[in-house]
Structure 1
Amino acid sequence: MITEFLARSNFTWTDVQEPETEDFERLSSDFSLPYLLVQDCLRPEHLPKYEESEEGGHFLMMRSFDNDSHHHDTSVQELTRKIALFINENRLVTIHRVELPFLVSVADKTKKSDFPKTLHGLIHQVIISIIRTYDVPVLRLQDLYDGFEHEILAKKNEHLSTIRIYHFRRQTFVLKRILKQTNDSLYRAKDFWSEHPSMLQDLRENIDQLYFQLDEISSNFEHLFELHIALNDQRANSVMKILTVFSSILLPLNFIASFYGMNFDYLPGLHSQSALMILTAVMVFITIAAVWFFRRRGWFNTARE
C-alpha cells in the first residue's frame, strides 16, 4: 500500500507498507527506484546499512524496536522491525512491512506545521523517531537489572534463573549491536549531511546516549553476576566449615569407639568395671574442649553469618 504522507513544493514523502508486486513496479517506474534493491530491502535478515546509488540516490536501512515483541524474544528479527529509506534530491520513500505508528505520528506533526522546511529536516525527524523507539526497551532493561540487583544483594533469591539471565544478556547485546551499526551507517552517510552537520551530530548523540546506557547496564550486570557467584561460593564455604567443625568434634570420639570395638581380648581397661565411666568422661571432656576451642576461634559465629 502506497500512501502520500507529505507533499510540499520542494520535497515529498511517500510511505509504502507491505508492498505487493504492482507496488514494486510503480516504485520502479514512478519513483525511479531500483526494482531489485526494493525487493532486497524487504528481506528480514538485513541490518542497518547505508548505500549510495550510481544515479546519486541514497539508501539507508534502519531498524526500529518492535513494541509488540515478547520478553523472551532474543533475535534481531524478533526484537526489531526493518524500515528502508530511499532518498533522492526532492523525495523520501519509506518502505516497511508492518504498520509503524511513529511514522504516522511524524507525518501528522509535519502536516500540522511548516516544520521541517527541507528534505534533510524531514529525514532527521524520521530517523529521530526511529531512534526514540529504543527508549522503552532500555528503561525496561534497566528495571530488570535493578530487579537482579535487589534479588542478589537482599539475598532473596540464591539461585537466579539461567533463562532470565540469558534473555537479559541477549537482549542487551542485540540492542547494542543494532545501535552500533546504526551509528556506523549514519557516519558513512556523512557526505549526505555535509550541508547539515548539526543534524547528523544530533542523530549520533542520541544513539550514543542510548548505547552508553546499555553499555553501563551490561557492564554493571557482569560485575553483579560475578558478585552473585562469589556470594554463592561464600555460602558453600560456610556449609563446608560447619561440616568441618562437626567432623573435628566427632573424629576423636569415633577413634575411641573404633579402638575399643576391635575384636581382641587384651585391650587396656577392657575388663575393668570403671573403664566405661572413664571413657565416657574422656569423650565428654573431648567434646566440650572441641566446642570451646571452635567457639573461641569464632567458627560457630562465622557459620551462622
Structure 2
Amino acid sequence: MRKIKYKKGRKLQPYNLEYTGIHKKTDSEIQLFVYDDLNFAEFADFNVSDLKKHINTQKTNWLNIHGLNDLDFLKSISDYFKIDNFMLADILNTTRRTKIEEQHDILFFNIKSLLPAGDTDNISAEQISFLIKDGVLISFQEKRSDYFTHIRERIRTHSGIVRTKKSDYLLYILLDAIMENFYITLESEEDNIEELIDQTKNSTDPIILEKIEKHRDNFNFLKRAIIPLRDSLYDIKSIKDDDVFNVIEAENFTFFARLHQKSLELLEQIESDMSSLHSASDYYFSAQSHKMNEIMKTLTIVSAIFIPLTFIVGVYGMNFDYMPELRYEHGYYTVVGGMVLIVLGMIYYFKRRRWF
C-alpha cells in the first residue's frame, strides 16, 4: 500500500509536470475507437498529428492511452485537446484522491483501480483518469491491463447498447468495469478472513495477529478509495443544475445512480468484513487468554498438591532430638503412604469440583 509522503521544499508548479507512479518504464501507447450504431473503426499506434484525421465528432470517440511516463507525448495530447495543465498534473499525480470536476467544456474523472497483488496479501493500485470533451472520451491508464477488454469486444461486435450511446454512457461502463475490481478485491479479502478465522481456532501463533492487522490495513485502504468515489458519484446522481455536467445526458444520470448504489454496497460490505476481522482478533486474544488460564490452572493445582507435602517434609526436616516417630520402625513407609493418600484425596476433590 502506497502512502502519500510530503517532501519538504518540493513545490511543483502546474507547468512542471511529473509522473509520480511506479510504472516508470512503461512506454506510452495510444488506441482509438470511433463508432456509432452503424459503423465502427479502430486505430492503434498512430501519431498524435493523425488525430484530426481519425476523430469523427459526429460519432463517439474513445481514445485510450496506456503509460504515463512519456511526458512529451502526453503534453502533445494535452495541447491537441486544450487540456488545462492542472488537469494534466492530476492525471500524472497518482496520489490524488478520486474526484469529478468540470472545467469549461471538459469533464474530468479519476478513480483508483484496486486488485489483489498476486499470491501476496497486498493490494495493487492503479490510477485511471477520464476526460470527456466534444464527444471524445480520453482514458489514461498507468499500464496496459485487461480491465476494459470486454468493453472493447462489445464495441467491436455491437453487443448491447454501447454503440447506440454517447461518450457519457461509455464513461459509465468503464467506471462500472473498474468497480468490478473492487468486488474482486473484496472477495479475495473475505476468503483471507475466513482462512484467518479458521487459523485462530487452531493456533495462537503471533503471525496470525500480524496477518489480521495487514488485512485491516487493506480494508482501510479500500475504504479510502471508495469513499471519495461514492461522493463523486453522489454529485452526479443528485445534480439538478442544468449548467453542471452538461456532457452527461439526462437519461443517463440513472446509470451513475446505479454506480453510487454499488459504492454504498461496497462500503457496507467492508464494514461487515471489518467486524468479522475484529471478531477474529478478539477470538485470537480470547484463545491466548484461555490457553494462559489453562496453564495457570495446571500450575496452581500442582502447587496446591505439593503444599501439604512440603509441609510434611518440612516438619520431619526439623532437627529436634525428641521426635518419637523418627525411631518408629515403619515410620518412613507410614509417612510416604500418608503423603500418597493426601495426593490422591486432593486429586479426587479437585475432580469432584471439576477444577480440571
Could you tell me the TM-score, scaled by structure 1's length?
0.86
1:1-305 residue pairs with structure 2 within 5 A?
A: 1-8=29-36, 9-19=58-68, 20-53=70-103, 55-66=104-115, 68-69=117-118, 71-73=120-122, 79-113=124-158, 115-116=161-162, 117-153=165-201, 155=202, 157-159=203-205, 161=207, 162-190=209-237, 191=239, 192=245, 195=250, 196-267=252-323, 269-300=325-356
> Aligned in 2, Cα 1:48/1:69: closer, same or farther, shift over 3 Å?
farther
CA distance in 1, matches of 2:234, 2:105: 18
- Alignment coverage as a number of residue pairs: 293
Report if the CA contact (8 A) 2:236-2:253 is conserved.
no
- 3-state secondary structure, aligned to 1:235: helix
Corresponding position of 2:3: none
Identity %: 21
CA distance in 1, matches of 2:150, 2:285: 47
Corresponding position of 1:303: none
> Which stretch has the larger CA shift, 215-224 or 6-15?
6-15
Report if the CA contact (8 A) 2:110-2:130 is conserved.
yes
**TM superposition shift of 1:124:** 0.7
> Aligned in 2, Cα 1:96/1:294: closer, same or farther, shift over 3 Å?
same
- 3-state secondary structure, aligned to 1:269: helix
- 3-state secondary structure, aligned to 2:215: helix
Unaligned runs of 5+ in 1: 301-305
> Which stretch has the larger CA shift, 200-209 or 276-285?
276-285
**TM superposition shift of 1:106:** 1.4
**TM superposition shift of 1:144:** 1.2
**TM superposition shift of 1:294:** 0.9
Q: Render the CA deviation track for 1:58-103: whole Å, top value 9, x for unaligned.
A: 21111112455552425xxxx2111111123422111122012122
**TM superposition shift of 1:261:** 1.2
> Which stretch has the larger CA shift, 193-202 or 93-102?
193-202
CA distance in 2, matches of 1:68, 1:248: 55
1:146 maps to a residue whose letter is: E
**TM superposition shift of 1:166:** 2.9
Report if the CA contact (8 A) 1:24-1:39 is conserved.
no
**TM superposition shift of 1:268:** 5.6
1:145 maps to a residue whose letter is: I
Report if the CA contact (8 A) 2:99-2:111 is conserved.
yes
**TM superposition shift of 1:7:** 4.2
Q: Render the CA deviation track for 1:258-287: whole Å, top value 9, x for unaligned.
A: 122133334463444454344233323322
Report if the CA contact (8 A) 2:127-2:141 is conserved.
yes
Could you tell me the TM-score, scaled by structure 2's length?
0.75
> Aligned in 2, Cα 1:26/1:251: closer, same or farther, shift over 3 Å?
same
CA distance in 2, matches of 1:145, 1:21: 42
1:298 maps to a residue whose letter is: R
**TM superposition shift of 1:238:** 1.6
Unaligned runs of 5+ in 2: 1-28, 37-57, 240-244
**TM superposition shift of 1:194:** 7.4
Report if the CA contact (8 A) 2:212-2:281 is conserved.
no
CA distance in 1, matches of 2:266, 2:176: 12
CA distance in 1, matches of 2:305, 2:142: 73
Backbone CA RMSD of aligned residues: 2.3
